[in-house]
C-alpha cells in the first residue's frame, strides 16, 4: 500500500489531504509542518505532497529535493508556484492552491501512479516538471 506524506503547516488543509489519502485507499505516512519533521517522516513515504512555505519558512523546495533524492515521488501544492521557478530536479510538478476536491484527488492519484511506474496523465491544473 502506497504511503503518502503530507507536508503542510495549515492544520485544516493537512487534515483534508489526509482524509483524501485515506478515502483513496492509501496510507498516510504522517503530517509535517516543517522541514525537520518532513525529513524525519520521509523515510517511511512513497509519495509526498509538499507545500512551499511552511512554519520554518520557504523550505518546501529543499524538502522536495531531498525526498526525491530518496525515491519519494513529490508533488508541490502551493499558492505560489512561481517560487519553484522552472522546477525542482527529481520532483513531479506543482499544482496551485486552493484546490477543488477533485483536483486534490487527481494530484494524489497522479503521484501514486508515477511512483508505481504506471502511465499517468498530468492533471489539468498541474504544471509538470521535466
pLDDT surpasses 90 at 99: no
Residue 49: closest CA among 90, 82, 24, 21: 21
Question: Which domain covers residue 97, as residue numbers?
Answer: 3-128
CA 56 and chain centroid, separation? 17
Q: Which residues, at least 6 apart from 85, have a Cβ–Cβ distance to it below 8 Å?
A: none
Query: What is the pLDDT at residue 87?
Result: 94
Averaged pLDDT of the chain: 95
Reported as a single tens digit per residue, the pLDDT across 18-65 is: 999 999 999 999 999 999 999 999 999 999 999 999 999 999 999 999
State the CATH number of the domain containing residue 62: 3.40.50.2300
Q: Does residue 130 have a pLDDT over 90? A: no
Considering its fold, how many domains does the chain have in total? 1
Give the mean model confidence (pLDDT) for residues 4-15.
97
Amino acid at each position: 500500500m502506497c504511503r503518502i506524506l503530507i507536508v503542510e503547516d495549515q492544520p485544516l488543509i493537512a487534515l483534508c489531504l489526509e482524509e483524501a489519502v485515506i478515502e483513496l485507499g492509501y496510507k498516510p505516512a504522517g503530517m509535517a509542518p516543517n522541514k525537520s519533521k518532513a525529513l524525519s517522516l520521509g523515510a517511511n513515504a512513497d509519495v509526498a505532497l509538499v507545500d512551499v512555505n511552511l512554519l520554518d519558512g520557504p523550505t518546501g523546495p529543499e524538502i522536495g529535493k531531498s525526498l526525491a533524492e530518496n525515491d519519494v515521488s513529490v508533488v508541490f501544492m502551493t499558492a505560489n508556484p512561481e517560487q519553484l521557478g522552472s522546477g525542482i530536479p527529481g520532483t513531479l510538478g506543482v499544482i496551485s492552491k486552493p484546490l477543488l476536491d477533485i483536483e486534490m484527488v487527481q494530484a494524489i492519484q497522479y503521484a501514486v501512479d508515477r511512483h508505481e511506474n504506471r502511465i499517468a496523465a498530468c492533471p489539468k491544473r498541474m504544471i509538470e516538471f521535466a
